Amino acid sequence: MAQRRGLRRLAVLVLTLALVAGGIYSAVFFLQRSETLVSERCRAVIDERTAELAPDQAVYASLIAAVAVQRGLPPRAASIAIATAMQESKLRNIDHGDQAGPDSRGLFQQRPSQGWGTEAQIMDPYYAANAFYDALVKIPGYEALEITDAAQRVQRSAYPTAYAQHEDMGRTFASGLSGQTPEAVQCTLRAAGTGGDTSALSAELHQAYGALESMVDGETLVVLATGSEAWSVAQWAVANAKGFDVTHVEVAGRSWTRSTSRDGWQESAAPDGQVRITVATENSGS
């Protein structure tokens, strides 16, 4: 009898352990599956107008807008540039052209044969954006032109009316990324890794905006900025969150958190005059 009771207890123990192990496996599988099913997108929302980009496209949109901010250009310039790049390359830094322009390259499909620079220069998105703006600001009254007209005067495309289809997207993202509309840009992303690097983040930020005063506080890059510049930097950080493992952005009493990104910007205790960008590292426990 004692032996049977012992065998019964052993069987119960084995069954219990199997159920626990199965529960753990199911929970892990569910979490992994949930992460896989997350549709990573970046949105810009202004009033009733909403535009969407994939995260890699949002990175280039933020770069184009940041260069405009650095140069002191109006948001309209960024609207024109973002819409143009969407038509020319789908906002991706592609290394090939098409039948109409076989030597076209980069975000704006600029051509070495038409004096835009060398292929290596054109494939540098910062060079390409500045080259576009150099041409745009030479057009008298470009701010008052329709986006498609301004874009065509720069690009001289074989399809001059095609830029118009991206006008709303360009205006919406440009308004947020230039800082004119706070809280406009938000991204829904999968969980961050642990590869966040504040030094790399700082280097990219300063290339985009030029001289900005900043400092590192643990896993947080603190950028000293106010007004529209602060909101531009904050929304640039959200647009670049995927590549830099950004988990949290705070600015002007508001915050974006990666884990609750579907809820948009929330109230925060962030002090004025600072943009705080926190990344996930091996030491952060994220």
Q: For 11-66, write each residue's pLDDT tens digit.
A: 555 555 555 445 444 443 433 444 455 699 999 999 999 999 999 999 999 999 99
Please tell me the distance from the alpha carbon of residue 200 to that of residue 192, in angstroms, as a whole number: 16
Any domain includes 19? no
As a whole number, mean pLDDT of residues 207-212 equals: 96
**What per-residue confidence (pLDDT) applies to 28?**
38
List, in sequence order, the alpha helices (H) in 195-285: 198-209, 227-239, 241-244
* Helix/strand/coil for 220: strand
User: Span 208-215, mean pLDDT?
Assistant: 96
67 and 169 share a domain?
yes
- Beta carbons within 10 angstroms of residue 102's beta carbon: 10
pLDDT at 161: 86
- Biggest CA–CA distance in the chain, Å, is 100
Domain check: are 73 and 198 in the same one?
A: no
The verdict on 168 and 193 lying in the same domain is no
Q: Does 80 reside within a domain?
A: yes
pLDDT of res. 194 = 94
Give residue 151's domain range: 43-177
Cα–Cα distances (Å) from 44 to 99, 198, 239, in that order, read 33, 25, 10
Q: What is the mean pLDDT of the chain?
A: 89
Q: Phi, psi at residue 240, to the nearest 5°?
A: -100, 10
Final residue in a domain of this structure, among 123, 148, 177: 177
Q: Are residues 48 and 171 in the same domain?
A: yes
* pLDDT above 80: residue 252: yes
How do the residues of the chain divide into helix, strand and coil, expressed in percent and rounded to 5?
50, 15, 30
Q: What is the mean pLDDT of residues 212-239?
A: 97
pLDDT of residue 260: 78
Residue 262: per-residue pLDDT? 72
Does residue 199 sit in the same domain as residue 154?
Answer: no
Which pLDDT score, from 0 to 100, does residue 279 have? Answer: 98
Tally of structural domains, the chain: 2
Tell me whether residue 242 is in a domain. yes
For residue 202, the model assigns a pLDDT of: 98
Task: Tell me, yes or no, whether 147 lies in a domain.
Answer: yes
pLDDT of res. 152: 94
Residue 272 sits in the same domain as residue 226: yes
- Clarify whether residues 91 and 113 are in a common domain: yes
Q: Residue 34 has what pLDDT?
A: 42
* Over residues 205-225, mean pLDDT: 97
Let me know whether 47 and 171 are in one domain.
yes
